[in-house]
Amino acid sequence: MAGAGPTAVLSSGKKMPLLGLGTWQSKAEEVYNAVKVAIDAGYRHIDTAWVYKNEKEVGQAIKEKIAEGKIKREDVFVTTKLFYTFHRPERVREAMLKSIGRLGLDYVDLYLIHNPQCFKYGTSPAEVFKPSADLERLFDDVDHVDTWKAMESLVDEGLAKSIGVSNFNSQQLERLLQNCRIKPAVNQVELHPYLAQQDLVDFCKKNNILLTAFSALGAPARPKSFASGEEEPVLMEDPSVVAIAKKYGKSSAQVLLRYHLDRGVSAIPKSVTPSRIQANFDIMNFSLSKEDLASLGQLDRKLRYVGANLFVKHKFFPF
């Protein structure tokens, strides 16, 4: 994967670039250009999801770069995700076909169960994310082990090269490991110095599951907590982060992304701003010292910017 930066070999045997472009909350008209800018900048890993409602534009941008001769299909690693309402085994392939249809691709490189919690088939994303006293009536109780077996069939069929999960804790991962034919290759979770999750990092390394960090920069676009609505500290303004950035002549964002890579973790920072997309990739010419990694590790305050109390009454709530 020319231009991809550092890569990791997944348990599936496939290579995955450690740095990717995230597209959560990226509007369709913006993400199309963002993906093209990212590919030109050297990114070879693009992360999307059915619920982001931008798979079509992500796929269109990738196909245009292939048509230009900038990349080949095998050069770019595309991740998408199974939404919460498609967990029943008979619905998994349906959801996959919808996603690759929107992407305009024959396969995805990585397909993730987006969350261990699940909702009844046909529930809309608007219903799922609307605060409601009746949210529990929408819950489904499909065991993610059963969902996983349907995910394995997608690999058999060639629709997904690798499969994994998102927002799973170590106990949920352990159940999958004890009941799977194909191991989960990736677990995508919120991860940054304010939420270091060292136990989960250690568990995943021990079991050859690559961790991918979303909100890798501490959700700078979210001055208020997704869960509580209260003001949260801005990680990129933390004095320790700022001081380390000054030491290396880099930005706070670049230091935080390097923190993940030096920790053996993948990261998918989201941006639609060309200059930030390019700057986020410009981290291949330095590494953090052990002392600076340790300093960042001491910032852990178990702070979740995203989803700390989301679906807390669901039987598979992971936090």
Q: Which positions are catalytic?
A: 52
Report the Cα–Cα distance between both ends of the chain, in Å, rounded.
35
Angle at 93 between CA 90 and CA 96, to 5 degrees: 145
Under 8 Å CB-to-CB from 277, ≥6 apart: which residues?
A: 21, 34, 37, 38, 41, 43, 271
Closest CA to 182 of 165, 200, 166: 165
Q: What does the block give as tokens for 210? A: 């690559």
Find the Cα–Cα–Cα–Cα dihedral 314, 315, 317, 319, rounded to 10°: 130
Which amino acids are annotated as binding site for substrate, given as ranges?
114
Q: CA-to-CA distance for 112 and 22, rounded, in angstroms?
A: 14
Name the nearest CA neighbour of 194 among 172, 220, 168: 220
Please, are residues 185 and 162 in contact by the beta-carbon 8 Å criterion? yes
How far apart CA 316 and CA 319 sit, in angstroms, is: 9
3-state helix vs strand vs coil in the chain, percent to 5: 40, 15, 40
Q: Which of 280, 279, 278, 161 is nearest to 213 (CA)?
A: 280
